Each structure stands twice: as structure tokens, then as C-alpha cells.
Amino acid sequence: MRIKHALALGLAGAAVATLGAAGTAGAATGNSVTLYEGTGFTGPSVVVTSSMFNDCTLHYSDGTPVSAIGSVYNGGPTGATLYTGVGYQGAARTIAPFSGYSGKLSCGSIAFF
């Protein structure tokens, strides 16, 4: 997939752990997750190498794909690095499925909830 795992660098330049289990990334509220862009982050990250429309998929809880989740990534340029928000100093970007769906949201191999 075009969304790749990335190691976020802290202010001291130390690499930190990759994203953990589903539901732990960013500020997850209901069926959405908030990631951040900017400087000074120490948390895990994903790199937006194309639109979330193409790269994020909502699955039913049994793993069955539903569809591309649509234009639910609220801004931010292609190529932006989005972090889970530890040490947040940048703009918030929210990823969420269409209302009425339930299941797992994933971008590439990264599951947000």
C-alpha cells in the first residue's frame, strides 16, 4: 500500500516505537482517529503519499472490506507526515469512516480502530 510505516523522530532524534494495537493510534473518538502534522513530535507516524480516499479502507469487524472510505481526511498535503499526537505542535487531521459503518479502519497495514 502507499501508506507506509514511518518512525517518528523525537526532538533528540531518537526513533520511537511503531504504531501499537488497533485503537491506540492518535486521539481515537468513536469511529475516528485524529493525527497531527508539524514539528516536535515524539509519537509514531504514517506518511501520506497519496490521498486517504485511495489508501484507507473500512472493514467490517470480521475483516471483510466495505469500500474506500471516501474523502474523510480533513486536509493536509500529499507527502505530509501525520503523527499520533505525542508532543503535538501542528494541525490536527481527522480520519473517519462514513457515518453508519462499523468495523476496522486501516491505512495500509496500520489499523486505527
Is residue 81 predicted with pLDDT exceeding 60? yes
pTM of model > 0.85: no
Is residue 55 predicted with pLDDT exceeding 60? no
* Strand 104-107 versus strand 110-111 pairing type: antiparallel
What pLDDT sits at residue 69? 38
Report pLDDT digits (tens) over 84-112: 655 555 666 665 554 554 555 666 555 65
Q: What is the mean pLDDT of the chain?
A: 50
Number of domain units in the chain: 1
The C-alpha cell 480516499 sits at: 53
**Which domain does 90 fall in, by range?**
4-111
Is residue 40 predicted with pLDDT exceeding 60? yes
Go through 66-97 and write b for each residue having 16 or more CB atoms within 10 A of its CB, e for each that does not. beebeebbeebeeebbbbbbbbbebebbebbb
